[in-house]
Amino acid sequence: MSWVSLTIGVDAAHAEILSDALFEQAALSVDIHDAAEGTADEQMLFGEPGLPTGEIWLDAEVTALFPEDANIPAIMQAVTQAAGLPNQPRYHLVNVAEQDWVRLTQSQFNPIQISSRLWVVPTWHESPDSSAINLILDPGLAFGTGSHPTTKLCLSWLDKNLQPNDSVLDYGCGSGILAIAALKLGANHVVGVDIDEHAVTASHENAARNTCDFSKIHFVSTHTELDASVSKSVDIVVANILANPLIMLAPILANAARSGGRVILSGILEAQADEVITTYRQWFDMQIAKEQEGWVLLTGTKI
């Protein structure tokens, strides 16, 4: 069986009601996302505890999945009316063929060599080098497979710069890949934090998969748990998120780093680097450490 993906451009005021209207028209799934997703104009909706939450994107897109025989013109007419839109919004269609989705997803992730001693190996592959440090990973519903440049930048930095017995905070841990790598590379105490419970679960599972010592590594989802886990400021704070939340998180991450400690920031486009650097210079001596495919890694030493 095949499907059709219907994407509709809409403003913030009508996105939610349009989503509900599409479900009423028997959509199999509906997703609301930023129309500028993946560009420098992408707007983050950020719900970090203690920090303000952004409004829905001013320029949104709603994508719905329907069976291939769905009457799209009739659906568009119905949802336009139901959402109270004065005119039918712009939309486009993409045919979605039948796939073995599990195999397709897995085929996109092969073992990734970070350095001569560090590999990221998906659970469905054999390790190419059994003598290396192999991070055996299944991201589940969390971000972090090792394939994205921002993750590679962080892994490479940890591989080259982490010192034995360093303490590490991985803020926005996703799949746990950076926290697990830090432990495997010699850190003596690692804490991963993520506001997404799915990410915390994936991190725990990946840590167990990598036979991590749970007396030295653990994952939390709230600031209360984080405060209990990080009894003193850490040597390295690493955060691979996106520029806007990194800017909002600056006081929290600065407070977590000890004097002379390091902050490692990724998820930042080249055009966004100056703004992030300016924010963090209140606490850190900042620099651009490396660039890859339009993304930058920022590092800083706490003053």
**Whether pLDDT at 159 is above 70:** yes
Statement: residue 37 has pLDDT above 80: no
d(CA 221, CA 18): 32
User: Do the domains at 3-98 and 141-302 have one common CATH topology?
Assistant: no
Range 101-114 average pLDDT = 69
67: which 2 tokens?
A: 């069976």
Q: Is the pLDDT of residue 41 over 70?
A: no
- CA gap 203, 19 in Å, rounded: 31
In angstroms, rounded to a whole number, what is the distance separating the alpha carbons of residues 287 and 80? 49
CA nearest to 270, candidates 230, 245, 297, 299: 297
Cα distance between residue 223 and residue 233, in whole Å: 14
Amino acid 46: pLDDT: 45
> Is 205's pLDDT higher than 50?
yes
Query: What local confidence, expressed as pLDDT, does residue 151 receive?
Result: 93
**pLDDT tens sequence across 281-301:** 999 999 999 999 999 999 999
Q: What does the alpha-carbon distance between residue 187 and residue 165 come to, in Å, rounded to a whole number?
A: 5
Q: Where are the domains of the chain?
A: 3-98, 141-302
CATH of domain 3-98: 3.30.70.120
Q: Among 2-6, 10-14, 140-144, 269-273, whose mean pLDDT is lowest? A: 140-144
Q: Report, in angstroms and rounded to the nearest whole number, the Rg of the chain calculated over CA atoms.
A: 21
The per-residue pLDDT for range 47-102, each reduced to its tens digit, is 444 444 445 567 889 999 999 999 999 999 999 999 999 999 999 999 987 665 55
Q: For residues 49 and 221, what is the distance between their CA atoms, to the nearest angstrom?
A: 10
In the block, which residue shows the tokens 């926005």?
172
Q: Are 187 and 165 in contact (CB under 8 A)?
A: yes
**For the segment 207-264, what is each residue's pLDDT rounded down to a tens digit?**
999 999 999 999 998 755 566 556 569 999 999 999 999 999 999 999 999 999 999 9
CA-based nearest residue to 193, from 244, 140, 240: 240
Q: What's the CATH class of domain 141-302?
A: alpha beta
